[in-house]
């Protein structure tokens, strides 16, 4: 959500502090624009499992070396509050994309739209940057391109309340929505 270009996993020795022990091994992975939190979770799980096997092997051979963590540049990631999950279309498209992907699938970034004559909450699970412009939250075409403060996003996957996640094409077959609809 913050726009980091990479993240990683590490094997560390536990101590009294929160994530403050010495580091044994670490691996990094690039965060692409298309990755959701679920995609990143799965990639890190695989990487972490492999790293743990290598660390245990090094420990068995007496080759596991520990080094202190850097004290500079450390930030605490606060728990995400429900109020933070609502999509703010008044932000630049790239910021909105990171917000959506950083919360997908759980807890999920959401907005409201009028569907079948009633305002309904919809989670946006996956999107991509699109070429377009308009008022924030304005539906720009019949394929779910939504304007942001700067630029636009195309919704790729979404989930209506109480329903299963679905691709945009599937959603539009059962729920036609066209401009001048607005997302709030």
The reply to whether 170 falls in a domain is: yes
Structure tokens at 52: 């743990």
Nearest C-alpha neighbor of 36 from the set 98, 83, 85, 82: 98
How many domains is the chain partitioned into structurally?
2
Q: In terms of domains, do 53 and 86 share one? A: no
pLDDT of residue 82: 87
Answer yes or no: are the C-beta atoms of 91 and 149 closer than 8 Å: yes
In the numeric block, which tokens belong to residue 25?
A: 């091994």
86 and 45 in one domain? no
In a domain, 71, yes or no: no
User: Can you list the residues of the chain whose pLDDT is less than 70?
Assistant: none
106 and 167 inside one domain: yes
CATH number of the domain that 137 lies in?
Answer: 3.10.25.10
pLDDT value of position 119? 92
Structural domain boundaries, residue 135:
82-174
Q: Which residue has the tokens 């946006």?
A: 124
Do both 39 and 93 map to the same domain?
no
Query: Would 43 be classed as within a structural domain?
Result: yes
- What pLDDT is recorded for position 117? 86
Residue with tokens 């919809």: 122
pLDDT tens column, 82-110: 889 999 999 999 999 999 999 999 999 99
Q: Confirm whether 70 is domain-assigned.
A: no
- Residue 38 is assigned to a structural domain of this protein: yes
Asked if residue 35 and residue 102 are part of one domain, the reply reads no
Q: Cα separation of 35 and 184, whole Å? A: 24
Rounded distance between C-alpha atoms, residue 53 and residue 171, angstroms? 43
Sorted by sequence, the CB contacts under 8 Å of residue 37 that are 6+ apart come out as 101, 102, 103, 104, 105, 106
53 plus 120 within the same structural domain: no
Asked whether residue 77 is domain-assigned, the answer is no
Residue with tokens 């996957």, as numbered in its chain: 157
- Note if the bond before 180 is cis, omega within 30 degrees: yes
Instruction: Establish if 66 belongs to a structural domain.
Output: no
Report the pLDDT value the prediction gives residue 107, as an integer from 0 to 100: 94
Q: Do 90 and 160 belong together in one domain? A: yes
Q: How far apart are CA 172 and CA 94, in angstroms?
A: 24
């Amino acid at each position: 959500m913050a726009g980091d270009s990479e993240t990683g996993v590490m094997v560390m020795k536990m101590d009294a502090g929160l994530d403050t022990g010495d580091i044994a091994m670490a691996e990094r992975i690039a965060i692409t624009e298309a990755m959701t939190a679920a995609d990143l979770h799965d990639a890190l799980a695989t990487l972490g499992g492999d790293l743990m096997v290598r660390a245990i092997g090094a420990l068995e051979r007496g080759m596991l070396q520990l080094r202190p963590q850097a004290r500079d540049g450390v930030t605490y990631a606060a728990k995400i509050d429900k109020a933070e999950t609502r999509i703010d279309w008044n932000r630049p498209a790239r910021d909105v994309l990171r917000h959506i992907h950083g919360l997908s699938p759980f807890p999920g970034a959401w907005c409201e739209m009028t569907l079948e004559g009633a305002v309904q909450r919809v989670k946006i699970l996956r999107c991509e940057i699109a070429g377009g412009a308009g008022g924030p939250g304005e539906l720009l075409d019949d394929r779910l391109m939504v304007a942001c403060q700067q630029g636009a996003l195309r919704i790729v996957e979404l989930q209506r309340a109480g329903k299963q996640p679905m691709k945009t094409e599937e959603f539009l077959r059962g729920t036609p929505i066209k401009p001048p609809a607005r997302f709030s």
